[in-house]
Amino acid sequence: MRQHAAKEMRYWANILDTDGATVLVSQVGAAIEDLSGRRLEQAQLMSAETTHMILLRYADGLPLPNQGYVQVTDPGSGATTLYIVDYLLDPRAPRPRVWTEVYCHVERTNS
């Protein structure tokens, strides 16, 4: 079971609608995890394209539609990455409705 903590939220993200342009929620805290090196995670992925997990607070993830987008800006480099949402998951730890795990893949990156 994966454990999450608020200190992981190092990025700012915008939640976008399915058109990829309409901002539903802006500047929410997010954590990003690359799943490519985790064998167990790879075996459990529902989509072959899924490469990343973005962690959001439960309430911040509510407006996110399936097949929506998450736009994340790296505070260090200023690079912006656009992720396509594959599916959402409530890890139910430490209890339901605390975190939303957004499983996604990269659409494009702008430096």
User: In CATH, what number is assigned to the domain containing residue 29?
Assistant: 2.40.10
d(CA 82, CA 71): 4
Give the pLDDT confidence of 9-31 residue by residue, as tens digits. 889 999 999 999 999 999 999 99
Peptide bond into 63 cis (omega under 30): no
- Structure tokens given for 72: 């994340």
β-pair partners for 28: 13
Look up the pTM and report it: 0.81
Q: Is residue 30 part of a domain?
A: yes
Q: Is residue 77 part of a domain?
A: yes
Residue with the two structure tokens 């790296």? 74
Predicted confidence (pLDDT) at residue 84 exceeds the cutoff of 50? yes
Range of the domain at 20: 6-110
Q: Would you say 81 and 21 are in contact if contact means Cβ atoms under 8 Å apart?
A: no
Q: Is residue 1 part of a domain?
A: no
